[in-house]
Chain A
Amino acid sequence: MKKIQTIIRKEWSEVFKNRMVLFTVAFLPLLLTAIPLGIIYATSSSAEFAGASSEIPGEINAFCPSDFSGGDCFQVFIVSQFMIMFMIIPLAIPASISSYSIVGEKVNRSLEPLLATPITTTELLIGKSLAAIIPALAATWIGFTIFILGTWIIIANPEIIGYFLDGRWLIAIFVIGPLMALSAVSFSIIISSRVNDPRVAEQVSMIIILPVLAAFFGQMAGIITLNITFMLASVIVLALVDAVLVFFSIRLFQRETIITRWK
C-alpha cells in the first residue's frame, strides 16, 4: 500500500508540472461545468422562455415529466444535451495523465530502474492507474456538485434540481464515470506501449471519447434517449469493455514485456 502511495505521489508531483496535463485537468471540467450553467442562466433570465409552454415542440415536452412547465422543460432538455458532454471529463483526464506518465517514463528511460525496485507490477499498475483516475473522478464529481449548486442558485427550482439528481445522472456520474476512467487508463496503457511521444499517445488515447460524442449527437438527433435503461445498458457494456481493456493492459504491463518489448 505504501508503495502504491509513493507511486501516486510521484505521478502527481511529476505530471502536474506538465502544462498540457494541467490544462486538461483544470480547464476541461471548468468549461464543461460552465456551459450548462450558462445555458440555465441564459434561459432562466430570458422572459422568452419563462412561460413559453405552448411554443415548446411536443418532442421536447415528451422529454419531461408532465408537471413541468414549458420553460422548465426547455431548460431541462437543453441542459440534458450538454450533460452527456460532462462525461468527457472521466475519459479525457485519465487518458491525458496516463499518456504522459507512461510514455514519459519510456522517454526518460526511468522504467527499468523503477522496475528494479521491489515493487510488483500490480502495485505499479494500480499506482499509475489511481494517479490518473482519482483526479478525473474528483474533477467530475466536484464539477457535478458545482453544477447542481449553481443550478440551485440560478433557478431555485427543486423539480429541476431533482431532475438532474435522479437515478440516471447519479448512475452516470458515480458508476459510469469510474468505469469510463478505468477504460481510459487501460486504453492509454495499451497505446503507450506502442508509441514514444506523449503527445501522440494522448491524441490517440483521446479516441476513447468518441462514444461519448456519438451519444451526444445521437441524443441531439433523437436516435438515443438518455433514460435509465440506456444508462444501465451503458454500465453493462462499459463493464465488459473494461474487462477486455484491463486484461490486455495487464498482459502488456509485465516486467519482461516492458523491458524487452516496449519500444
Chain B
Amino acid sequence: MITTQNLTKRFDQITAVENLTLEIPEGEVFGFLGPNGAGKTTTVRMLTSLISPTSGSATVNGHAIGERDIDIRRSVGLLTETPGWYDNLSAERNLEIYASLYEVEDIKGQVGKYLRFLGLWERRLDVTATFSKGMKQKLAIARALLHEPRTVFLDEPTAALDPEASRLVREFILEIKQQGRTIFICTHNLDEAERLCDRIAVFKTRLLVLDSPANLRRQVFGRKVVFHLLQADQALVEKIIQLPQVTEAKLIDHKIVATIDDPEKHNPEIIRLLVSEGADVQFVGELRRSLEDVYLQLVKNA
C-alpha cells in the first residue's frame, strides 16, 4: 500500500512535484501518466527512498519515507528508467550481486527462477554487453523482483521492447498482480496503461486527475452515443437536443452523435423519439474516445 500526503519536491527554484496526495491500496496496478519532465520519476524516487521530499509525507508498505528508508528499499522493487548493468559481467552474476544486496536467501534459486521465466536462462552466462535493449530490460524486471517485493515500481517497463517481449512483460505484470503485489507503473504507453491499470493518475507537477480508465473518459468527454440513421437532418438533432438527458448533439453525415448522461437508461427513449419522427435507425453504438484523447486533453488544459 502506498499513501502520500501533500508530497512536494523542489530543486532550487523548480518545483518538480507539488502537493501530491494519493492512496494506492494493496494489490492495485496503478498507472502514473504524464509528459516528459512532469515529475513522474522524481515521485518514484521519493517513494523508493532514493531522494527525500521537500515537504509532505508518504508511507510505502507501512514504512514512512525519511524514517524507515532501508525497510522501504527492502520491501520494494524498482525498474529504473535506464536498466544499468555491469556489462563486463554475465547476466547471472549481475543478478547474483543484486540478490545478495537485497538479502535474498536462496540466491541461485531466485536468479534461476526469474532468468527462466523471462526467457534468459540460455543466455545466463553471456556478458550483458552482448544483450539487446529488450533483453537488458527483461533482466532489469527480473532484478526488480528477485527479493519478491510487496510493491513494484516500474518506470517505462516496455520501453525498447519488441511487441512480443512487450506482451510477455504485460502478461508478467498481470501475473505478479495476481500474487497480490501493488504495482506502480510510470508509462507513456497509454494502450498499455489501459490494459494493465486498475486506476490511472494523469500528472504534470501536480495531480490532474485520478480514476479508472473508463471513468476518466467519462469525466473528460462524457459518454457519446452514435445513432446511425438511413437519412438524418438537422431537425432531428434539434429534437434530440431538447431532451434533458442530452447535453450535446451533432449531425455528422447520416449519424447523430449525442453526449448522454446515462446511455443504458436513456438510449431507448431517444430511439423511440427518432422512430416517432420517422427516422430509420440502422444501429446504435458508443463512441469510444481513446485514453490518448483523454490524456492529451488533460495535459493540454493543465
Q: How many residues on B have C-beta within 8 angstroms of the other chain's C-beta atoms? A: 30
Chain A residue with minimal CB distance to B16? A260
Contact, CB under 8 Å: A113 / B51: no
Proximity bits, B31-62, A CB within 8 Å = 1, else 0:
00000000000000100111110000000000
Count chain B CB atoms within 10 A of each CB in A3, A117, A256 and give the residue with the most. Answer: A117
Chain A residue with minimal CB distance to B97? A10
Q: How many residues on A have C-beta within 8 angstroms of the other chain's C-beta atoms? A: 26
A157 contacts chain B at the CB level, 8 A cutoff: no
Complex: A10 Cα to B98 Cα, angstroms: 10
Complex: A2 Cα to B103 Cα, angstroms: 9
A148 contacts chain B at the CB level, 8 A cutoff: no
Contact, CB under 8 Å: B45 / A119: no
Q: Which of B51, B85, B86, B102 contacts A255 (CB 8 A)?
A: B51
Proximity bits, B49-83, A CB within 8 Å = 1, else 0:
11110000000000000000011011000101011
| A14 and B101 in contact, given A116-B80, A117-B73 (Cβ under 8 angstroms) | no
A111 contacts chain B at the CB level, 8 A cutoff: yes
Q: Which of B70, B83, B88, B143 contacts A17 (CB 8 A)?
A: B88
Q: In whole Å, how far is A120's beta carbon from the nearest beta carbon of chain B? A: 7
Contact, CB under 8 Å: A259 / B140: no
B87 contacts chain A at the CB level, 8 A cutoff: yes
B93 contacts chain A at the CB level, 8 A cutoff: yes
Identify which of residues 248-262 in chain A touch chain B, using a CB-to-CB cut-off of 8 Å: 255-256, 259-260
Complex: A111 Cα to B86 Cα, angstroms: 10
| A3 and B50 in contact, given A109-B82, A109-B84 (Cβ under 8 angstroms) | no
Complex: A163 Cα to B239 Cα, angstroms: 112
Contact, CB under 8 Å: A110 / B51: no
| A116 and B84 in contact, given A6-B101, A10-B97, A14-B89 (Cβ under 8 angstroms) | no
Contact, CB under 8 Å: A119 / B88: no
Q: Which of A6, A108, A116 contacts B78 (CB 8 A)?
A: A116
Contact, CB under 8 Å: B48 / A113: no
Contact, CB under 8 Å: B143 / A112: no
Complex: A116 Cα to B11 Cα, angstroms: 20
Complex: A2 Cα to B107 Cα, angstroms: 14
Q: Which of A14, A18, A117, A259 contacts B45 (CB 8 A)?
A: A259
Using Cβ atoms and an 8 Å threshold, which residues of chain A touch B84? 108-114
B5 contacts chain A at the CB level, 8 A cutoff: no
Complex: A117 Cα to B99 Cα, angstroms: 9
Using Cβ atoms and an 8 Å threshold, which residues of chain A touch B83? 109, 113
Chain B residue with minimal CB distance to A16? B88
Identify which of residues 118-162 in chain A touch chain B, using a CB-to-CB cut-off of 8 Å: 118-120
Using Cβ atoms and an 8 Å threshold, which residues of chain B touch A17? 88
Contact, CB under 8 Å: A260 / B11: yes
Complex: A260 Cα to B98 Cα, angstroms: 22
Identify which of residues 45-77 in chain A touch chain B, using a CB-to-CB cut-off of 8 Å: none
Q: In whole Å, how far is A55's beta carbon from the nearest beta carbon of chain B? A: 56
| A119 and B86 in contact, given A113-B80, A259-B51 (Cβ under 8 angstroms) | no
Q: Identify the B interface with A (CB < 8 A).
A: 11, 45, 48-52, 70-71, 73-74, 78, 80, 82-89, 93, 97-98, 100-103, 140, 143
Q: Identify the A interface with B (CB < 8 A).
A: 2-3, 6, 9-10, 13-14, 17-18, 108-120, 255-256, 259-260
5 A/B residue pairs, CB under 8 Å, sorted by A: A113-B98, A114-B84, A116-B78, A255-B49, A255-B51
